[in-house]
Structure 1
Amino acid sequence: MDSLEATRNRLNQVHISLRKLSDQINYNIRFTGKTRLPTYGQFQSQFHVLITQLHSITSILENNQDILDHTNAYPLPLFPTSQHEGLATTLLRKKPLPEVEKWIDEAIEHSKSLNINSQADDEFSQWCSAKIQEIKEDFQFYGFLSTEELEYLETEEGKKEASAKKEAERQREDVEMGVTTGKKALHPNQVLKFMCQGKIE
């Protein structure tokens, strides 16, 4: 999305400007042997750049308020980035992984044999949705838990664990509501369902 990319670029410029100002202050402290701030002219020049950059960010946010109000950022602030850095990097990748590119190419080749124009988004998405419905008829879905896991949830220990998970999920949602200004973000399963079926429920 162009508005998000423009905002990211402006924020990166502000970060660089603040880092430059910090480096100027630290340089004077480190190499003069005493605390000495940059000159007034240096401060004024750097602050002028910062004000211009912040004004640019404000304009972008105002012009794209409707879009940004309905945009959910992934991963959310509570995502354990330090523990799952590899997963976060994968989620934020713009270019597909090599094996995913191979799957995409294979799907495009397969669609050619079926006389489907993969460039026609509406036609292709309708075909995908119909194909998923067709495949679903060959399987029975009872959720994401195995028989052993369902049996465990019937035990006293399983019930306590499920209750604790539910409470943790409720607390996470409360924090998320605060971050998203009262609007609940879409659950990843809802996002996947929309990607597969084009439906938000």
Structure 2
Amino acid sequence: MAAVNEGQIKVLEQTRQRLLQLTHSLGSLTGSLQQSDPLPSWNSLQSQASIISNNLINISTQISEHHELLSSLVAYPAPSFPGTTQQGVLEQLLRTKLDPRVQDWVEKGLKAGTKSAEENKGLSEAELEELWAWAPIEANQEARRRNWGGNYTLEERETGIQNVITGLSRQLDDDDESEESDEEEEDEDEAAEDKMEIVGVHRRPGSSGVEFDITSEKHRAPGAFSPAMPLTDVFRYMMTGAKPGSDVK
């Protein structure tokens, strides 16, 4: 392979810087966990975890963008490399396999990823169809068993609605009390409908008194009587005997 150019060297330097940032972030987290007593606060751990996550994202993006270059490079020492004093670095650069500890991490990560993918696969189409065919029937049967109606089931009423924990901040109304209040309102409406109304006035036969024609709004047939007579006309007729509508001076 030909010697690397300036652009490729720049890519390698960027990759090195990102790996160095990740190494420092991991070292900082490890040190804080080992040296702090008690452990660091949740906010501190969350902040360090966010930094590490961002570093991992940057490294992943860098490697993906320059995968072709990084996979084709071959490291070998130049004659001027200080192999005697930098033997550890040289061995790391020339290693063809991962470090045993790193290899264990990779295997655990692959297993965890495979297991997570299998668990999150979800239901198949046949299983979903079976579920949707079963759910409505079972829900209907459960509702019938509990005699559901209103805010409480029959089972909850028998054990006492004061013992029911709804998880709501507001208090639910008792259905029986609601029914009683509805009945009271209906009775009041009926009483209002049964109010009597004066629809006419005439002299009592064979006497000097008067009689009033009255009826209830509920039973009065439309058009059976003339419109309601004003009270002023009724009182004037009672005092003077003048027929309603006549001018009396």
What TM-score do you get using the length of structure 2 for normalisation? 0.29
Higher strand share: 2
**Structure ID, larger Rg:** 2
TM-score, normalised to structure 1, is: 0.36
Considering Cα pairs closer than 8 Å and 6+ residues apart, tell me whether 1 or 2 has the greater RCO. Answer: 1
Q: Which structure has the highest helix share of the two?
A: 1
